[in-house]
Amino acid sequence: MTTHAEIVGWGKYVPNKVLTNHDLEKMLETSDEWIRTRTGICERRIASPKETSATMATKAAFAAIEVADLSPGKIDLILTATSTPDHLMPSTASLVQDAIGATNAGAMDINAACSGFVYALAMGSGSIAGGIHRNVLVIGADTMSRVMDYTDRGTSVLFGDGAGAVVLRATNKATGMLASALGSDGSGADLLWIPAGGAKHPASTETVQNRMHYLRMNGNEVYRFAVNVMAKASLQVIKDAGLDLEDIELVIPHQANIRIIQSAAKALKIPIEKIFTNVDRYGNTSAASVPIALCEAIEQARIKTGDHIVLVAFGAGLTWAATAIQWGMPALPPHLPWWRSMLHRFRGQEAAAKSLARRTSRKIPR
Ligand SMILES: CC(C)(COP(=O)(O)OP(=O)(O)OC[C@H]1O[C@@H](n2cnc3c(N)ncnc32)[C@H](O)[C@@H]1OP(=O)(O)O)[C@@H](O)C(=O)NCCC(=O)NCCS
């Protein structure tokens, strides 16, 4: 019998702090009108000083495992897609694993920038279909505000912070993840990048003075690339899944720019009503953008059991990724008895508190 992977839990977290276009007008030579007409973005969320990719990922993960009604000990693998990890090492996934008490899980990060969550979904479902794992927690989390140069109006108005997560579970039903397509063109590496902080340009006075730890981008080139790959990748997974365009009920694209999304819809020849967008409220949250949008599509009852949906993303690398899914779950989370939901929360908080206590009391050997 063939094993499939299906999404059985989902959750998101966005920071409370809202940075509006009007706030940016006070910081930069820009205007609400310019940002809205060129990008569709009205506001974005910004992490508090205490929040990081790991803390946001942890909150999204708790929400997802609660919907999946899964005890953390049953998670086999945690994949965190991020290009703003808390540290170069260890992985953000390992920090999440500890914080949620997933004591039997392997953990690693995947860096494919804004395409990362769709990459991680493909890896997670592959490991389930191959019989290696049964329950995989897939997270997309990014704290883009930490790598923004708020003196650069060409980039800093575009990005925001957040996290989204799903639980993938093995099933014998022919449903769930149907087909994935992943791509990369590294010849465009310097069109969207953070030049310093890695092995090539480790942190130094010079790299800091030259602002090399901030994201840099050639917006026009990235725009052209994005429109081209979004339609191509979507059509490929639709075909590989044995579907026709008319079978697709909803496309959830990476939320980078409303004009990119509209152009991709036109290239795909799909009505704009079948495309989910929330870029106006969050901006580009990088690897978190697709899972946050997926969660909101579910919250807004835009996905029903049996629907065929496509997730598609592009990003630094340059990379792109798409996946076709048949939604197997009831769209709204199954009603959990109040005591079970409390138990999940309590277990989660207890695990997080223990982990924090362990970390703060640990003596660093000299
Ligand atoms: C960045 C982007 C919005 C720029 O839009 P655009 O219509 O191509 O604008 P241009 O780059 O041609 O710039 C037009 C003018 O606006 C100016 N400008 C750039 N950012 C501005 C801002 N925030 N506010 C006001 N003016 C701005 C430019 O300096 C330029 O001025 P000039 O004509 O005097 O030189 C667009 O190229 C884009 O979205 N690219 C893709 C980016 C992306 O999605 N990246 C993430 C990928 S995961």
Domains of the chain: 1-366 (3.40.47.10)
Nearest CA to ligand 1 atom 30: 154
Assign 3-state DSSP to the chain and report helix, strand, coil percentages, each to 5.
Answer: 45, 25, 35
Yes or no: say if 286 and 57 are a contact pair by the CB < 8 Å rule.
no
Ligand 1 in reach of 223 Cβ (< 6 A): yes
Whether cis (ω within 30° of 0) applies to the bond prior to 90 is yes
For the chain, the first-to-last Cα distance in angstroms comes to: 55
Ligand 1 in reach of 285 Cβ (< 6 A): no
E strand residue ranges, 153-280: 161-171, 176-184, 192-193, 216-217, 248-253
Question: For residues 294 and 216, what is the distance between their CA atoms, to the nearest angstrom?
Answer: 28
Ligand 1 in reach of 57 Cβ (< 6 A): no
Ligand 1 in reach of 115 Cβ (< 6 A): no
Helix H or strand E encompassing 9: strand 4-13
Closest ligand 1 atom to residue 313 Cα is 48
Q: What per-residue string of b and e applies to 10-40 under the rule 16 or more CB within 10 Å gives b? A: bbbbbbeeebebeebbeebebebeebeeebb
Whether cis (ω within 30° of 0) applies to the bond prior to 121 is no
Closest ligand 1 atom to residue 157 Cα is 23
Question: For residues 147 and 193, what is the distance between their CA atoms, to the nearest angstrom?
Answer: 10
Band the pLDDT of 360: cuts 50, 70, 90: very low
* Amino acid (1-letter code) at residue 332: L
Residues marked active site are found at 114, 254, 284
The pLDDT score that the predictor gives to residue 352 is: 52
Could you tell which of 31, 35, 215, 223 is best to mutate to test the pocket of ligand 1, judged by most ligand atoms within 8 Å of the CB? 223
Phi, psi of 249 (to 5 degrees): -85, -30
Question: For residues 213 and 203, what is the distance between their CA atoms, to the nearest angstrom?
Answer: 8
Could you tell which of 220, 225, 263 is best to mutate to test the pocket of ligand 1, judged by most ligand atoms within 8 Å of the CB? 220
138 Ramachandran zone, left/alpha/beta (phi>0; psi -120 to 50): beta
Rounded to the nearest angstrom, the distance between the alpha carbon of 295 and the centre of ligand 1 is 29
When pLDDT is averaged across residues 197-202 and rounded to a whole number, the result is 96
Please provide the size of the chain in residues: 366
Band the pLDDT of 14: cuts 50, 70, 90: very high
Residue with tokens 């000083």: 49
Question: For residues 222 and 286, what is the distance between their CA atoms, to the nearest angstrom?
Answer: 14
Going from the C-alpha of 233 to that of each of 125, 229, 269, 320, the distances in angstroms are: 18, 6, 14, 7
Closest ligand 1 atom to residue 222 Cα is 41
Chain centroid to Cα 226, Å, comes to 17
* Amino acid (1-letter code) at residue 305: T
When pLDDT is averaged across residues 94-120 and rounded to a whole number, the result is 98
Q: pLDDT tens across 281-324, in order?
A: 999 999 999 999 999 999 999 999 999 999 999 999 999 999 99
The pLDDT score that the predictor gives to residue 342 is: 47
Of 179 and 329, more confident: 179
Question: Which residue from 300, 287, 288, 301 is spatially nearest to 330, judged by alpha carbons?
Answer: 301
Question: Which residue from 174, 170, 188, 65 is spatially nearest to 126, judged by alpha carbons?
Answer: 170
Could you tell which of 23, 28, 37, 38 is best to mutate to test the pocket of ligand 1, judged by most ligand atoms within 8 Å of the CB? 38
3 pLDDT exceeds 70? yes
Q: What per-residue string of b and e applies to 153-181 under the rule 16 or more CB within 10 Å gives b? A: bebbbbbbbbbbbbbbbbbeeebbbbbbb
Ligand 1 in reach of 321 Cβ (< 6 A): no
When pLDDT is averaged across residues 210-239 and rounded to a whole number, the result is 96
- Percentage of the chain surpassing pLDDT 90? 88
Question: For residues 224 and 269, what is the distance between their CA atoms, to the nearest angstrom?
Answer: 18
pTM reported for the whole predicted model: 0.92
245 pLDDT exceeds 50? yes
